[in-house]
Amino acid sequence: MNGHSSMHPQDFKVAIVGGGIGGLTCALSLAQHCPGIQIDVYEQAPQYKEIGAGVGIGVNAAKILHRLGVGKEANAISGERNNIHRTSRRWDNGEEIVTIDAGFDKGEIRQLSVHRAELLDVLYQAIKRREIATLHTNKRCIDIKDLGDKVEISFQDGTTSTANLLVGCDGIHSQIRARFVPDHPRYSGRIAYRGLLKLKDAEAFWPFNSYAVSWLAKDKHFLVFPISQNKTLNVVAFVTKSLEELGDLKESWTSSAPRADLEKEYEGWDPTVEKIIKCMKPNPGKWRLNDRELIPQWTFMEGKTVLLGDAAHAMLPHQGSGAGHAIEDGYILGRALQDYFRDPSRPLSIWTLVYQNVRLPRAQKAQITSRQAGDVYEMQGKDFEGLSYDDCLPIVADKLKDRMRWVWGGDIDAEYEAMVLHSRLVNSDGVSVKSNGIKTD
């Protein structure tokens, strides 16, 4: 199959390992771009359910959800930020440092603040309704094998399956990635507390015109934003800690701590912060934030296996764009596979490499800038050395005001088309031309 092929979508089987936001978006994109293609999604859990709470979806990714026909449903579960992306405020009195508006929103295509589980259900229901994929549960991948023209996937329950293309989107602890790239997580220097509260419990004391707010201090910051049609307020509180202070704290969504620990960390902060914490449940989530090295390759086994989402580019949460980049991955993989079927003279490996070459630079830029954003929020690094808190604030405002412009304003369709042209797969008129491979210079 990896030679020149006349295979049609109806004869082509895709196995998506991982049924999270990235995996289900990928299924929707493949089905839309390649009608009739056979798709199996393998989720290791007993049901399709996201662990965690709120997630931001930038307008760049929201645009894709609309193209895939689920934008209206995604809008219906979003919180309302009142045309503000986020206001950053002083930790001690809540005075404004800088406000970033939602300037890239256009009508129905706008930034989203959603509960992960609710967004996953939107994707899941669309797949079920359209009958475009077989959705499996209790399927934990433990090994994969190259069979030449296909990939064999082995599961913990003793079963196996084969596919023409394997998409590994099984998260930060990806078994697919581990087959090719060792995982060396390293502690980022921060921990995070996470929780939810009913937004109505905060309405009486809320002093601002938007519920998308972060409070910034040296070595700590506290973030809230609304989800679930403004029924719920999502809370994430970040604290710089030495490795020695962590004890046995793990990189896990299921770790928790007494609320008293959080109250102590933010004692003396702006009264709004202290009131928010008191409205949270008794045991908020608590986990260590690990970082990972950038990996230089996402496609393996002569193009028959690709990585997507956190499996390819796990990133720190400080820009809130990880889920959006997984959505972009799935969309571009759909476009690449569509072009593979349009031009049977070229092997699959050409088109999965196009997918990698389009997505990897943008995702890795997000990984790097997410690290940098954490330092800005907590006024760490050489730009802030030796400065008082008040002297840091103008620098923070300057670094944040245009920080997300490249993410929200990106045109990934143009990036894809430019890569195809650069790779000499089409000419400037969009007509397929002969090529033996992909230029990399």
| Residue 438 predicted with pLDDT over 50 | no
pLDDT > 70: percent of the chain:
95
- Phi/psi for 136 (5° steps) reads -100, 150
Q: What mean pLDDT value characterizes the chain?
A: 93
CB proximity list for 192: less than 8 A, separation 6 or greater? 236, 237, 238, 239, 285, 286, 287, 289, 317
Amino acid making up residue 201: D
Instruction: Please give the pLDDT value at position 1.
Output: 44
Instruction: Please give the pLDDT value at position 377.
Output: 98
Instruction: Please give the pLDDT value at position 5.
Output: 53
pTM: 0.94
Residues 362 and 328: beta-carbon distance below 8 Å: yes
| Residue 430 predicted with pLDDT over 90 | no
Picking from 34, 74, 57, 8, the residue whose alpha carbon sits closest to that of residue 336 is 34
Instruction: Please give the pLDDT value at position 427.
Output: 59
Instruction: Please give the pLDDT value at position 432.
Output: 56
pLDDT single digits (tens) 65-123: 999 999 999 999 999 999 999 999 999 999 999 999 998 899 999 999 999 999 999 99
Helix count (H) and strand count (E) of the chain?
14, 18
The structure tokens listed for 258 are 């007494």
Q: How far is CA 47 from CA 150, 171, 211, 255, 326, in A?
A: 27, 16, 32, 21, 20
Mean pLDDT calculated for residue range 6-22: 94
Instruction: Please give the pLDDT value at position 437.
Output: 36
Instruction: Please give the pLDDT value at position 254.
Output: 78
Instruction: Please give the pLDDT value at position 345.
Output: 84
Q: How far is CA 127 from CA 26, 161, 205, 216, in A?
A: 11, 21, 42, 41
Mean pLDDT calculated for residue range 212-232: 97
Instruction: Please give the pLDDT value at position 12.
Output: 97
Q: By 3-state DSSP, what share of the chain in percent is helix, strand and coil, each rounded to 5? A: 35, 25, 40
pLDDT single digits (tens) 134-160: 999 999 999 999 999 999 999 999 999
pLDDT single digits (tens) 199-208: 999 999 999 9
| Residue 4 predicted with pLDDT over 80 | no
| Residue 378 predicted with pLDDT over 80 | yes
Instruction: Please give the pLDDT value at position 192.
Output: 96
Residues 262 and 242: beta-carbon distance below 8 Å: no
Instruction: Please give the pLDDT value at position 440.
Output: 31
Dihedral sign computed on CA atoms, order 202, 203, 206, 212? positive
